[in-house]
Amino acid sequence: MNLNQGQTQNVGASSGAHVPAVPRYSYYALLILSLVNFLNYIDRQVLPAVATSIQADPTLRITDSDIGLMESSLLLSFTILAPIFGRLGDRYPRAKLMAVAAVLWSIATGMTGVVDRLPFLHGALRFDVPLVHWPVSLPAVVIALCLVRASVGVGESAYSTITPSLIADYFPHHKRATALGVFQSAIPMGFALGFVIGGVLAHFFGWRVAFMIVGVPGLITAALVWMLREPRRGATDEVPHDTALGDLVAGESQTPRVEAKTTGRSETDKSETGGESILRTAWGILTTRDWLVSTAAYTALTAALGAFATWAIVVLVRDKGMSQTGANITLGVVTLLAGAAGTFGGGWVADRVAARRHNGYFLVCAVSTLAGIAPTLAVLIADDPRVYIPCVFFAVALLFTSNAPFHAILLESVPFNVRAMAVALNIVIIHACGDAISRLVVGLLSDSLKAGHFAALSSFADLIGIDAARQQLTTALLVAPAALVVSTSLFFLGAKLQKKPQAAP
């Protein structure tokens, strides 16, 4: 079926540029994929939203370290399984894999609310952390909560790994960052409504019911993903003049041969890689400079964002003095507005900057992350809500600006037929070396500061205006602006190193 009826647009007549019109079905697919991604992040964010309610439950006795461990469990399973789903996504129907993933994480989310009631959860696991010899005692209920949160990560790893490559095949280069911006804008929106919905449901019905309710919509929308039409891989990277983009999205034309824009790779490496081993494919991606530098930069940014995503509500309640429901609603509304504006606006701006500068995507990431450092630090220092709430808005908007241009860099730095694997390896690195560490480290630091450790960090916090004796969690969150400094430096390095694409002969 021809979804575009052969209509195309021609712009830049002086240069003879051929720009295909995007078929309406691509926008429909983007809407469905973004909706499920939105529900994905609501499910993910319910735990931070109800963390204070869980800690207030006298039957559980959950510490900051336990909350950090639960969050890290989700991300570790997400990280470990991402390469497997990346490989599957490069070889099998992507929509079907993603639909199954949505069902898995939705069921696991609902189970989070009941797993602590299992009758056999008694005793605790005790051991010393190697090298540092920290004693650790994990109650059985904490282990069970970690396992069910890890199950949520199983489903999310498939969806987050495969979806960007699917979007890249629905939208050509000149619309790709904007489309990714729409998809990625579901992340802050999901975060925001996760805070609000989780907090309100926990207030009226308890934290267990909150988990069970938010898991239901994902089961319903998974059917819509299952029915999506699969575009041909690489369909939008190079469209012949006599072929409508709609034909390629509908799957009626042969996939055009595409020369990837990979920096520093040979023509042999750019050819079809479907028969390569997973190790050779992974090595080719890991040695691609633009992919590697952008991934390193985004890892540091993810560490900062992940730390705040887990601990922002607890900081507002415990250290800033807000009520539980007030903190959830306030942070939810601010994140919704700022995150959606930053993510969608970042894609829109990045496409226009990239049209004029070959390193435009890197530059947008670098400048926005740099600008986000000051308001992030101000959120931690200020105690007046008239100061820290506007700073939350600016910090979120600026830091989420990088989402769309970063993913455009990621997808365009590798051949189209290994894009799912490229996203999977990116997920492994940004979570294993980023927020899986930062979320847990902040919890451990907070408990350690309460015990009187890390005097140097406490002294620095006092120096910049944070009451370290009272605001241990805020002090621990100073790791976030430090990570943003690293991220900014790497994005600027990527902009400097990125070469102009060679003109076609």
d(C-alpha 139, C-alpha 493), whole Å: 45
pTM of the model: 0.67
Q: Which of 94-108, 371-385, 407-421 has the lowest mean pLDDT?
A: 407-421
pLDDT at 502: 58
Q: Does residue 425 have a pLDDT over 60?
A: yes
pLDDT number for residue 133: 60
Domains in the chain (CATH in brackets) are 24-237+245-252+276-497 (1.20.1250.20)
pLDDT of residue 292: 92
Which residues are CB-neighbours of 369 under 8 A, at least 6 positions away?
297, 301, 398, 399, 402, 484, 487, 488, 491
| Single-letter amino acid, residue 66 | D
> Length of the chain, please?
505
| Summary mean pLDDT of the chain | 79
Q: Which residue has the higher pLDDT, 182 or 245?
A: 182
Interval 119-164: pLDDT, tens: 666 666 665 656 556 666 677 788 888 888 888 887 777 777 788 7
* Whether residue 170 has pLDDT greater than 50: yes
Nearest to 30 by CA among 404, 409, 406: 404
C-alpha span between 128 and 434 (Å, rounded): 24
Q: For 102-119, what is the mean pLDDT?
A: 83
Q: Is the pLDDT of residue 474 over 70?
A: yes
Task: Give 432-460 pLDDT, tens digit per residue.
Answer: 888 878 888 888 888 888 888 888 988 99
- pLDDT tens column, 373-398: 999 999 999 988 889 999 999 999 99
